[in-house]
A and B are shown apart, each in its own frame.
Chain A
Amino acid sequence: MMMNPSLKNLSKISSGTIIEGKWHHNRYTIIKQLGFGANGIVYLARHDSKQVALKMSDNGMSVTSEVNVLKAFAKVQGSALGPSLLDVDDWETSEGKVSFYVMEFIKGPDFLSFLKQKGPDWTGVMVLQLLADLQLLHDNGWVFGDLKPENLIVTGPPARIRCIDVGGTTMQGRSIKEFTEYFDRGYWGLGSRKAEPRYDLFAVAMIMINTAFPQRFTKKSGGLEEIMEKVKQSPELTRYEKIISYALSGKFLSANEMRMEIIQVHLPDAPSRSNRQQKTAKQPPFPRQPARSPVKKAKSSTSVQTRKQFNKGKKKFAALETITIILVISLMYFFYIYSQIT
């Protein structure tokens, strides 16, 4: 293992220090430290009179890994969720080499502080923005993974949700790279850690819950009931109760489905009813109703069942077909052998 300066030493870089890249020779002047985590330290720095965020780590490969993700983000057209990548380089110090990358500086309060300032009216809007970005990310074959309020920043005005830590972003079908227990469905016993869109939707629902419970409740034995119990205690979350329950149990198949339902919640109830039905007639993924109507729910589950039964029937038919063919052929073969012998 090569000797690199430790994370502790890297966290003590004083303002005014100039960091020059070994490969691309860009110079960055450190202004102040922005954050400190297990994977590295983020500094605010100046480059050509512009402010940038510079992240360095004692682990070169973790820098490389994050850079790969940021590059993937850059390919997602129209999404502004992650910070844009500006430079990747090595800084040669007297103690050894430090890998770093430079990204756009995203300025603003974090998600929970923003909502505390502005009030719960903004929860829906922010979640809608987040879901739209997630849909784009999912469409491109990725899953965000480590979604949590600390990683979300609201810039603006106009208010726009952005994400500052993309370290958990994982290719779909792989296992989630990084996660935080409270926002992880595996921790709550509600699913695997395989990267798929529904993993992120679970985390979004937990973020919504976190807005009403800033202290975050602790897990007792896990399970949907336990979380929904808490949700029911919060007046802010009543309107989202059904949506949260669906997202937690993996019933939304895409971010768009969840998004549509949140939009429904925010529509004025009486006037645009016919309008609404027209709109949703195209994609009815969610039994749309003004809360608690067991009939509709039952209906949706039976429709799933009938589909299953239909599939079963299909399978049965196929098996029967196979057996018949085998029987007929073996019968013919038997006669052939018989005729050969005699």
Chain B
Amino acid sequence: MKTGTIRQILLITDGCSNQGEDPIAMAALAKEQGITVNVIGVMEHDVIDEQGMKEIEGLAMAGGGVSQIVYAQQLSQTVQMVTRKAMTQTLQGVVNKEIQQILGGGRTVEDLPPEQRGEVMEVIDELGETVELDVLILVDTSASMKQKLPTVKEALLDLSLSLNARSGDNHFSVFVFPGKRKDVEKLLDWTPKLESLTSIFAKLTTGGITPTGPALREALPYFDKKRSLRSFLNRDDESFFEESV
């Protein structure tokens, strides 16, 4: 069974968007392109407004992902948990589709007797260990995030540690919003390791508004940039084979 690459956006924010397109619509747009949107709401001390909470949940729901609201201290554990959970969810979706095709009648894994469900779960576990994973990390650097950025950095390094223990390949890229001139700014291009983040994060400046919607919209094409590079390489390979045959 071929699952291809799992593509996720991980949005780390502390509140409500206040400029540009409706972020929930942008999350839905991402989902349509096969990209899951996960959201982590970071709060300081119980200060997260109702509206912000609603938006965080709405984003993940529209983006087919997972959302979680945490205190800054628990961020590390949550970031890796959310990423993993979303990955399993996506894989379950893929496996469910296959099973529906086999069984017919809209039946899913949950309709199988518990014994067979266990075997399916083993397949999902195995896939989760080996599948290729692309995570685009989108960090809110509006003024209110200033205190939390060191914790965000720790959490991202921790994520890299967790995911790189898998046998499948990982690619991470990091974007911050608002950017200096644009809505979103690229900090780190696709890379298997996040360690290089340490030096870049120290220089980050915070401030400004929270254009979550535009940031999501502008981040989406970056998945294709990566893919187009790879398909270019692949095409090269193929043409080579054609010539040699």
Interface residue count for A (Cβ, 8 Å)?
26
Contacts of B54 in A (CB 8 A): none
Stretch at the interface among A60-68, A122-130, A206-214: A60-68
CA distance A278 to B162 in the complex (A): 43
Would you call B76 and A181 a contact (CB within 8 A)? yes
CA distance A281 to B124 in the complex (A): 46
Would you call B162 and A23 a contact (CB within 8 A)? no
Tell me whether A88 and B162 are in contact in the complex, defined as CB-CB below 8 angstroms, given that A174-B167, A175-B129 are known contacts.
no
| Interface class of chain B by DSSP | helix
CA distance A192 to B158 in the complex (A): 10
A interface footprint on B89-106 (CB within 8 Å = 1, 0 otherwise): 000100000000000000
CA distance A88 to B114 in the complex (A): 6
CA distance A71 to B122 in the complex (A): 12
Would you call B165 and A67 a contact (CB within 8 A)? no
Partner of A61, one of B92, B164, B167: B92
Smallest CB-CB separation from B129: which chain A residue?
A174
Would you call B114 and A61 a contact (CB within 8 A)? no
Contacts of A61 in B (CB 8 A): 88, 92, 109, 121, 124
* A97, CB-defined interface residue at 8 Å: yes
Within 8 A of A (CB), among B36-95: 76-77, 88, 92
CA distance A175 to B167 in the complex (A): 8
Number of A-B contacts (CB under 8 A): 64
Contacts of B76 in A (CB 8 A): 181, 187
CA distance A173 to B92 in the complex (A): 22
Tell me whether A65 and B165 are in contact in the complex, defined as CB-CB below 8 angstroms, given that A60-B110, A88-B114, A181-B77 are known contacts.
no
| Interface class of chain A by DSSP | mixed
CB distance from B69 to the nearest CB of A (A): 13
Tell me whether A23 and B110 are in contact in the complex, defined as CB-CB below 8 angstroms, given that A174-B166, A175-B163 are known contacts.
no
Would you call B163 and A97 a contact (CB within 8 A)? no
Would you call B114 and A67 a contact (CB within 8 A)? yes
Would you call A186 and B158 a contact (CB within 8 A)? yes
Contacts of B77 in A (CB 8 A): 180-181
* B204, CB-defined interface residue at 8 Å: no
Interface size class of B (residues with CB under 8 A): 20 to 34
Contacts of A90 in B (CB 8 A): 114
CA distance A2 to B108 in the complex (A): 10
* A160, CB-defined interface residue at 8 Å: no
Smallest CB-CB separation from A67: which chain B residue?
B118
Would you call A194 and B121 a contact (CB within 8 A)? no
* B117, CB-defined interface residue at 8 Å: yes
Would you call A64 and B114 a contact (CB within 8 A)? yes
Smallest CB-CB separation from A101: which chain B residue?
B114
Contacts of A186 in B (CB 8 A): 158, 161-162, 165
Would you call A64 and B158 a contact (CB within 8 A)? no
Contacts of B4 in A (CB 8 A): none
CA distance A90 to B115 in the complex (A): 12
- Pick the most buried of A23, A61, A68, A88: most chain B CB atoms within 10 A of its CB: A61
Contacts of A175 in B (CB 8 A): 129, 162-163, 165-166
Smallest CB-CB separation from B161: which chain A residue?
A186
Contacts of A193 in B (CB 8 A): 161-162, 165
Smallest CB-CB separation from A2: which chain B residue?
B110
Contacts of B158 in A (CB 8 A): 186-187
CB distance from A91 to the nearest CB of B (A): 12
Extra contacts besides A65-B125, A174-B129, A192-B165 (9): CB < 8 Å:
A60-B109, A60-B110, A64-B120, A65-B121, A71-B118, A90-B114, A180-B77, A181-B76, A187-B76
Q: What are 22 A-B interface contacts by the 8 Å CB criterion?
A: A23-B113, A61-B88, A61-B92, A67-B118, A68-B118, A68-B122, A71-B118, A88-B114, A88-B118, A89-B114, A99-B114, A174-B165, A174-B166, A175-B165, A175-B166, A176-B165, A181-B76, A181-B77, A186-B165, A187-B76, A193-B161, A193-B165
